[in-house]
Copies of this chain bind each other. A is one copy, B any other.
Amino acid sequence: MAEIKILKNIMDENLTQAAKNRQWFKTRHIVTLNLIASPGAGKTTFLEQTIRGLSPKHKLAVIEGDITGDHDAKRIEALGVPVVQINTEGGCHLDAHMIDSALSSLDLKDLSYLFIENVGNLVCPAEFDLGEDLKVVVLSTPEGHDKPAKYPLIFSEAQAVVINKMDLLPAVDFDLVQAERDIRKLNPNVPVFRLSSKTGEGLDKWLEWLTSKGTGNR
């Protein structure tokens, strides 16, 4: 079964590099977030709002993962935050080696938070540890409340779940109680933040939680 062995090697090599990344971030007191969501769940808008909430008090940097293009990186750059774009050229997720390569292009001195926006996908990014401290999954209300049950791995691994686009709740069929029940079945103690990146509603609680994870550089 050559296929399985090769796949195992890829996963093992990724874990080894992820452990190096994690140690590297830890010695520099950088809190690292891996943002994972479906295409169009609003990751970039959520990240923009998070940046507005944290800077200039905290020094931030961003790694943007996309199949192709630099649309999201330009949005982040417009906020005055250092950003590196990774193009996976078809690949459905970032991996720990890509993060290692991107770090050399960033000024990381006195950095408090590094945000990594993964490729829009609820499946593959869940399987690749990047060495981050916190996996944050963003679910938007138009996607439907059945997504945690249908894509369980990422919801079981997340250190926080964001339910985004709460402003659209009246217009869509999204059962908040059912969604949160399914999330808790997979991940009993995970914090769930209901918010709208568009209106700003609910962002304060998210920012409060995030700043409580800071480790000293500020």
Tell me if A69 counts as interface (CB < 8 A to partner B).
yes
Tell me if A152 counts as interface (CB < 8 A to partner B).
yes
Can you list, as one digit per residue, whether each of A1-20 has a CB less than 8 Å from chain B (1) or not (0)?
01100100010000000000
Contact of A38 among B40, B69, B90, B150 (CB under 8 A): B40
Closest Cβ of chain B to A96, distance in Å, is 16
Tell me if A149 counts as interface (CB < 8 A to partner B).
yes
CB pair B3 A92 closer than 8 Å: no
Find chain B residues with CB under 8 A from A38 CB.
38-40, 120, 143
Can you list, as one digit per residue, whether each of A56-84 has a CB less than 8 Å from chain B (1) or not (0)?
00000000001111010000000000000
For A145, the closest partner residue in chain B by CB is: B40
CB pair B3 A151 closer than 8 Å: no
Number of copies: 2
Find chain B residues with CB under 8 A from A40 CB.
38, 41, 140, 142-144, 147
| Known pairs A3-B10, A165-B142; A92 contacts B123 (CB<8 A) | yes
Find chain B residues with CB under 8 A from A165 CB.
142
Find chain B residues with CB under 8 A from A147 CB.
39-40
Q: Would you list 18 pairs from A and B whose C-beta atoms are within 8 A, ordered by A residue?
A: A3-B6, A39-B143, A39-B147, A39-B150, A40-B143, A41-B143, A67-B151, A69-B149, A69-B150, A71-B146, A90-B127, A92-B121, A120-B150, A121-B121, A142-B142, A142-B165, A142-B168, A168-B168
